[in-house]
Amino acid sequence: MAKRDYYEVLGLAKGAGESELKSAYRKLALKFHPDRNPGNKEAEEHFKEAAEAYSVLSDPEKRHAYDTYGHQGVAGAAQQGFNPDAFSDFADIFGDFFGFGDLFGGGGGRRRNRAQRGDDVRYDLEIAFEESIFGKEVDIQVPRTEPCASCKGSGAESEDGWTSCSLCRGRGEVFYQQGFLSIRKTCNQCGGSGKILRRPCKACKGEAYTQVTRKLKVKIPAGVDTGMKMRVGGEGQPGVNGGPSGDLYVFLSVQPHPVFERHEYDLHCIVPVNVAQAALGTEIHILTFEGLESLRVPEGIQSGETLRLKGRGVPYVNGGGRGDLIVRIEVKTPRKLTREQRRLLEQLRDTLPAENEPEEKSILDKLKDYLM
């Protein structure tokens, strides 16, 4: 019986692309798979025919030979049959159908025994506002797993506590025939390790790892803020099969301060002055994180205006300077007056011009209102 055209078998035009090939083959393979058609010889033949067509047309060199010379151009390749190592494309096509991710080596025992990096660990740390300004070295306790000290991470009570798996004979995989396919699958008995634990370690009960609390010193640099994180290399969960450990990430949260607020690397605070100080000007003293600082308040200052102390803000995390301290002046009007204070203020009132008409906002004020 003459072979059908491979494009006809897959129901495709000659110029079909790779995605069309995969889609057409998947549809036919799912329809005619022997597991879905037990004992149906016709379905098995259709399945073989589709697999042969796809194996040729998915290979650029074989496809070129087939397009040029027809079936004779790939006669040798078509007779070679299949082997388990040639199923990487099939695993991609079938996905999890019938567990083909494992059947074609995607989850084989050898792969499971490869070295794997350990998981990263998150640790949330709250620090005081002052500590964020100056930095500090803190002690933290991080829960994590470590190789069992008793069995040194083997999980066995002694060196001869493991025995070779009788089902896969230590290979971690089993091979069997399914229809015309030669298939390999992770051994269910040993989970792909190739070994069976006979005498588990009494300390870890065969788990090979134990839960511990690790004490670490972490140096917090000056200038950190809420939301920042620090990486401590190699202090995460241990690796598997000799793989490297993960990292520890310390996420920082800074407590609020009763006086200062932080905006990026600048500090902001509010300082009250009385009416006379605002009108005549004065010198005030502000307690900063470096001690008392003198600040000249110019005469005629208005409530809400700001003054700046250069370099008295937050240090830059990466060094190279620091922000400023922004002082917002708030003019306080006294609620209670002595008789003498009232007399003096009445004299002052009579000498000052009465400016009680609503003022038109300046362009700058309008812009501020628009942006807020």
- Which carries the bigger pLDDT value, residue 182 or residue 286? 286
- Residue 66, exposed/middle/buried by CB under 10 A (0-12, 13-18, 19+)? buried
pLDDT number for residue 323 = 95
- Residue 232 binned pLDDT confidence (cut-offs 50, 70, 90): very high
Distance CA 70, CA 68 (A): 6
For residue 367, pLDDT over 80 is answered with no
Confidence of residue 37 (pLDDT cuts 50, 70, 90): confident
Predicted confidence at residue 248, as pLDDT, reads 94
In the beta sheet, which residues pair with residue 47?
Answer: none
Alpha-carbon radius of gyration of the chain: 39
Burial 21-39 (b: 16+ CB within 10 A, else e): bbebbbebbeebbbeebee
Q: Collapsing DSSP states into helix, strand and coil, what is residue 253?
A: strand
Q: Which of 2-6, 33-37, 146-150, 230-234 has the lowest mean pLDDT?
A: 33-37
Q: Which CATH architecture has domain 261-371?
A: Sandwich (2.60)
Q: Are 116-153+207-256 and 261-371 in the same CATH fold?
A: yes
> Is the pLDDT reported for residue 271 higher than 70?
yes
Does residue 352 have a pLDDT over 70?
Answer: yes
Q: Is there a contact between 56 and 66 (Cβ–Cβ < 8 Å)?
A: yes
Q: What is the band of 168 on the pLDDT scale with cuts at 50, 70, 90?
A: confident
Q: Kindly report the average pLDDT of the chain as a whole number.
A: 82
pTM of the model: 0.57
pLDDT in tens, 70-124: 888 777 555 444 433 334 445 445 544 444 444 444 444 444 557 889 899 999 9
Residue 238 clears pLDDT 80, i.e. is over it: yes
Query: What pLDDT does residue 158 have?
Result: 79
- CATH fold, domain 6-81, is Helix Hairpins (1.10.287)
Does residue 266 surpass a pLDDT of 90? yes
From first CA to last CA, the distance across the chain in angstroms is 83
All structural domains of the chain with their residue ranges: 6-81, 116-153+207-256, 261-371
Spell out a b/e string for 172-184, using b for 16 or more CB atoms within 10 Å of the CB, else e: bbbeeeeeebebb
Instruction: Report residue 65: phi and psi, to 5°.
Output: -65, -40
Per-residue pLDDT, 219: 94
Reference 292, options 312, 273, 276; nearest CA is 312
Q: What is the CATH number of domain 116-153+207-256?
A: 2.60.260.20
